């Protein structure tokens, strides 16, 4: 299947002078978001935030929680609970972490993910992760999913700033000695696409994570796909 037919929507390419070539077959560096893109963890994130907030007297909605996924955890808590003081926000953060870690066995990688990563590696692609998770949290799920060896570099929000700050992408490009034109970034949140757009990196929005298809399309990703299988097909060719 061609790249265009594999995508549910082919958005207009960004006009940035840094992003002239969007052919995925030419990309040598493939950078992934983690939650909602590679790992089926959105449900647990939403549940954990509800439990954490309610434990300290605060409530929110599923949609509001999904809208902050992709940001660093504390940035998300600041948005969800602006009326909470600093000590309450820290307590919510700890309660969230406690519930998430205790139940993280229930968050598998999406079914096609490992085959996709293996195929991309066999094609000689460099793979990386740019995530809103903290380093401790990412290392834990990489260990649990036995995924460390797929990635030449991973970058987290506590190392390079919260999305849509592009610093984590800049760090990955520098570390791998790749150019913007060599890279594609894949994510499920509007912050992911906004981050890629700031550097002019080719982007793929996935509709099966946090944001709706319409919300993602409004950010003008280069490509947009509906399912993990479609993502694997468009990347692996």
The string of pLDDT tens digits covering residues 156-203 is 999 998 999 999 999 999 999 999 999 999 999 999 999 999 999 999
Exposure pattern of 191-217 as b/e (b: 16+ CB <10 Å)? bbbbbbbebbbbbbbbbbbbbebebbb
Please count the residues of the chain: 237
Q: With pLDDT > 70 as the criterion, what percentage of the chain qualifies?
A: 92
The token pair that represents 138 in the structure block: 């990412």
* Contact predicate 189/210, CB 8 Å: yes
* Mean pLDDT, rounded, for 109-122: 97
Which pLDDT tens digit goes with each residue over 47-70? Answer: 999 999 999 999 999 999 999 988
Which pLDDT tens digit goes with each residue over 74-114? Answer: 999 999 999 999 999 999 999 999 999 998 887 899 999 99
The answer on pLDDT for 15 being more than 80 is no
For residues 189 and 137, what is the distance between their CA atoms, to the nearest angstrom?
19
For residues 225 and 196, what is the distance between their CA atoms, to the nearest angstrom?
16
Q: How far apart are the first and last CA of the chain?
A: 7
104, burial (CB in 10 Å: exposed 0-12, middle 13-18, buried 19+)? middle
Q: What predicted TM-score, i.e. pTM, was given to this entire model?
A: 0.86
pLDDT band at 20 (very low <50, low <70, confident <90, very high): low
The token pair that represents 86 in the structure block: 């600093």
The answer on pLDDT for 7 being more than 50 is no
């Amino acid at each position: 299947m061609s790249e265009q037919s594999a995508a549910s929507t082919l958005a207009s390419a960004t006009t940035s002078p840094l992003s002239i070539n969007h052919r995925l077959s030419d990309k040598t560096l493939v950078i992934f978001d983690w939650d909602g893109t590679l790992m089926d963890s959105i449900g647990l994130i939403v549940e954990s935030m509800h439990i954490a907030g309610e434990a300290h007297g605060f409530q929110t909605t599923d949609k509001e929680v999904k809208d902050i996924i992709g940001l660093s955890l504390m940035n998300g808590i600041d948005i969800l609970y602006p009326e909470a003081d600093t000590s309450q926000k820290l307590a919510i953060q700890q309660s969230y972490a406690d519930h998430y870690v205790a139940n993280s066995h229930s968050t598998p990688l999406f079914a096609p993910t490992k085959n996709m990563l293996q195929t991309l590696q066999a094609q000689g692609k460099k793979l990386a992760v740019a995530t809103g998770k903290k380093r401790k949290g990412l290392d834990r799920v990489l260990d649990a999913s036995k995924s460390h060896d797929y990635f030449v570099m991973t970058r987290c929000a506590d190392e390079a700033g919260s999305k849509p700050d592009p610093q984590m992408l800049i760090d990955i490009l520098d570390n791998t000695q790749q150019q913007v034109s060599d890279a594609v970034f894949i994510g499920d949140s509007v912050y992911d696409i906004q981050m890629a757009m700031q550097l002019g990196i080719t982007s793929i929005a996935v509709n099966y994570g946090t944001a709706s298809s319409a919300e993602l399309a409004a950010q003008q990703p280069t490509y947009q796909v509906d399912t993990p299988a479609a993502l694997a097909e468009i990347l692996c060719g």
